[in-house]
């Protein structure tokens, strides 16, 4: 199962990279983080980092992810994060971090989409 995380705002790319590096410092999440670039525009050489894909499965990784994201958000004030899975999206920021674990848990409980959709 994979959860996608992205940032919005004027520093979205910087925030996305900082968050990915933060996740990579968490031993249980190492090797489960993948950065995804946006498609480059006509005048661009490459796309910016658009989102983070986090592979989680059993073994409590959703809890580790939620705890790590909560700590990261508590040290920022002007960042808004979108967490998505199977077309369902929730948004959080530094002001509603107490809900992160519940939101991620609800996303992980969604049924997997059939392949090909």
Contact 56, 62 (CB under 8 A): yes
Predicted confidence at residue 111, as pLDDT, reads 67
pLDDT, residue 115, reads 47
| Architecture per CATH, 2-108 | 2-Layer Sandwich (3.30)
Tell me whether residue 73 is exposed, middle or buried, using C-beta atoms within 10 angstroms of its C-beta: 0 to 12, 13 to 18, 19 or more: buried
- Where are the domains positioned within the chain? 2-108
pLDDT of residue 39: 76
In 80-109, which positions are buried (b, 16+ CB within 10 angstroms) versus exposed (e)? Answer: bbebbbeeeebebebeebeebbebbeebbe
For residue 19, give the 3-state DSSP assignment: helix
If the chain, 117 residues long, is cut into consecutive pieces of 10 residues, what is the mean pLDDT of each piece? 84 88 92 85 72 82 86 83 85 75 74 55
Q: What is the C-alpha to C-alpha distance for residues 97 and 93, in angstroms, rounded to an integer?
A: 6
12-24 vs 61-74: helix crossing angle, rounded to 10: 130
Nearest-angstrom CA–CA distance, 62 and 53 = 13
What is the C-alpha to C-alpha distance for residues 103 and 112, in angstroms, rounded to an integer?
17
Please give the pLDDT value at position 33. Answer: 93
């Amino acid at each position: 199962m994979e959860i996608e995380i992205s940032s919005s705002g004027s520093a979205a790319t910087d925030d996305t990279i900082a968050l990915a590096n933060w996740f990579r410092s968490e031993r249980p999440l190492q090797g489960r983080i993948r950065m995804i670039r946006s498609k480059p525009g006509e005048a661009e050489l490459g796309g910016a980092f658009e989102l983070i894909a986090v592979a989680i499965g059993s073994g409590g990784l959703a809890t580790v992810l939620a705890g790590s994201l909560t700590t990261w958000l508590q040290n920022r004030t002007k960042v808004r994060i979108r967490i998505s899975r199977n077309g369902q999206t929730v948004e959080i920021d530094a002001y509603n971090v107490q809900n992160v674990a519940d939101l991620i848990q609800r996303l992980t409980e969604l049924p997997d989409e059939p392949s090909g959709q």
